[in-house]
Amino acid sequence: MSVLLVDAGNTRVKWAFAGAHGLVAPGAVAHGEAGWIERLEDAWRAHAPVRIAWLASVAQPEVEAALLALLARVAPVERVRSTERLAGVRNGYLEPQRLGVDRLLAMAGAQAMSLAPALVVGVGTAATIDALAGDGTHCGGLILPSPRAMQAAVLAQTPVRPRHEGRVTAFARSTEDALASGAWLALAACVERSADTFARESSRATGIVLHGGAAPALAGLLERAHVVREHLVLEGLAAVAADAVR
């Protein structure tokens, strides 16, 4: 019987099934799209029977409610929330429950994949940077606007309306390219400065682990060594599910 892993984010619902050697049949759907619930049900029932579903969510309450109603028809559900310790990671927040569960699970995924010490960087609706020590201690992190949000914030204060998305270059020669370049290079610089600071404070080399829908775009701008784990949150969720049966 299958174990279903579900990560409900601000924009998309991502899922996969836990396999003996990693994730199986991962997929994603934007929860603003027409028929998204039906698409999820079709994808999940293709792997029936499902023994149990593990859900982590930072989505809006109405999205969570729709998901829980669907999952109730598929399998028993375990909700994962932020706690002081989860799947080998010690939450570094002063109020552990306020750390986004997606961030905590991404660190759990990095820990399970033996990628720590590392900066765990998520690039989605927002950008997040979390410092994870080799022993699984979360040393804190940052939240900043995604490059898309940065550009939107600038444009909201001006009459400028870009004619295209722009491309990233060191010194842009059009407004569109300047907006795109400023936003993406700002995020890349923040990540690399954070990596330098973490390495200096921990007195050891640290890696950079990228995840989220826009991670590949950021990867092309970094000068430091890095890895992209497209399904890192789901890998963390798989680690939680595995811990539950030990």
Tens digits of residue pLDDT in 61-93 = 999 999 999 999 999 999 999 999 999 999 999
Q: Single out the residue of 86, 33, 88, 90 nearest to residue 56, CA to CA.
A: 86
> Smallest Cα–Cα separation from 103: which of 93, 94, 116, 113?
93
Which letter does DSSP use for residue 113 in this model? Answer: T
Residue of 99, 84, 106 whose CA lies nearest to 7: 106
The predicted pLDDT at position 21 comes to 82
Is residue 1's pLDDT more than 80?
A: no
pLDDT > 90 fraction of the chain, expressed in percent and rounded: 84
Q: In what order do the strands lie in the sheet with 227-228?
A: 138-145, 126-132, 118-123, 207-211, 227-228
| pLDDT tier at 246, thresholds 50, 70, 90 | low
The set of catalytic residues is 102
Which residues of 20-115 form beta strands (DSSP E)? 22-30, 50-57, 77-79, 85-86, 89-90
The model's pTM is 0.94
Q: How confident is the model at residue 24 (pLDDT cuts 50, 70, 90)?
A: very high
Q: What is the DSSP string of 136-151?
A: SBEEEEEEEE-HHHHH
Average pLDDT of the residues in 98-118? 97
| Mean pLDDT calculated for residue range 192-218 | 94
Tell me: pLDDT of 141 over 80: yes
Q: Is the pLDDT of residue 219 over 80?
A: yes
Total count of residues recorded for the chain: 246
pLDDT, residue 113, reads 95
The 10s digit of each residue's pLDDT in 152-181 is: 998 888 888 888 889 999 999 999 999 999
Structure tokens at 131: 């410092």
Given this model, what pLDDT does residue 187 score?
98
102-116, 152-166, 187-201: which range is least confident on average? 152-166
| Mean pLDDT of the 114-126 span | 95
In angstroms, what CA-CA distances link 132 with 81, 202, 230? 19, 10, 18
Count the alpha carbons within 13 Å of 208 in the hemisphere toward its beta carbon.
27
